[in-house]
Amino acid sequence: MQSLPFGSRSKMRVLLIEDDGMLGTALSQALRDASHAVDWVRTIEDGLAAAELHSYGALLLDLSVSGESGLDLLRRLRARGDQVPVLIITASHAVEQRIAGLDQGADDYILKPFDMDELQARMRAVVRRKAGTADPILTNGDLSLDPAAHEASVGGKAIVLSPREFSLLHALMIEPGVILSRKMLEERIYGWNEEVESNAVEFLIHAVRRKLGARIIKNVRGMGWIVPRRG
């Protein structure tokens, strides 16, 4: 598999569970076009396995996937302590089914057919809520990130980041004060179909520090990297 170039686009790693081939293909492509890394599976069991092996920014779940119920997946995910933001995508207008999904641990739902801009806005909203904030702008000291506009600024000055640089910084900013290892960062910004070079994370961190300042990201020797909390 050929390594992707440094500037390849990625904001968030998304798990899509959808058994309809045409819809799954269309959704996967639309999400990739919107700069997300996407892992697409067609069964509940494959979805559970993927969620156990990898770290996702969001999970898109079609409740009507054939075989085991999507509600069972939600129960099993939450029972094992997995707090990945879950957005149900459904064609059912039955209120009872949507209520059941929310009661089993889903964070939101969207009815088919839907607009991709709305889907992405709902994804950003559930990710913010899981991170404990309703503010659409991530801030830490004088550093700000706007996931919707894909913009970064320091002290009010706009800084241009490549999509991959933005994705890495976003992963750290979602959890300020938390150390993320190389593997954890790779899990958050690369999909299955992307081969990661051994020094890719270090290369991205060097690039971000060069643009934003060395103090933005701190290295914790032998453990990983952290964006220190700042008031």
Does residue 4 carry a pLDDT above 60? no
Q: Which of 151, 155, 177, 192 is nearest to 46 (CA)?
A: 192
Does residue 133 carry a pLDDT above 80? no
Residue ranges of the chain that CATH labels 1.10.10.10: 138-226
Topology adopted by domain 138-226? Arc Repressor Mutant, subunit A (1.10.10)
CA Rg value for the chain: 18
Residue ranges of the chain that CATH labels 3.40.50.2300: 13-130
Q: The domain 13-130 belongs to what CATH superfamily? A: Response regulator (3.40.50.2300)
Cβ neighbours for 59, distance < 8 A, ≥ 6 positions apart: 14, 15, 17, 47, 51, 77, 84, 85, 86, 87
Does residue 67 carry a pLDDT above 70? no
Does residue 164 carry a pLDDT above 70? yes
Does residue 129 carry a pLDDT above 90? no
Question: Is 85:107 a contact under the CB 8 Å cutoff?
Answer: yes
CA distance 18 to 191: 17
The pLDDT-based confidence of 2 (bands split at 50, 70, 90) is very low
Q: How many helices (H) and strands (E) does the chain have?
A: 8, 11
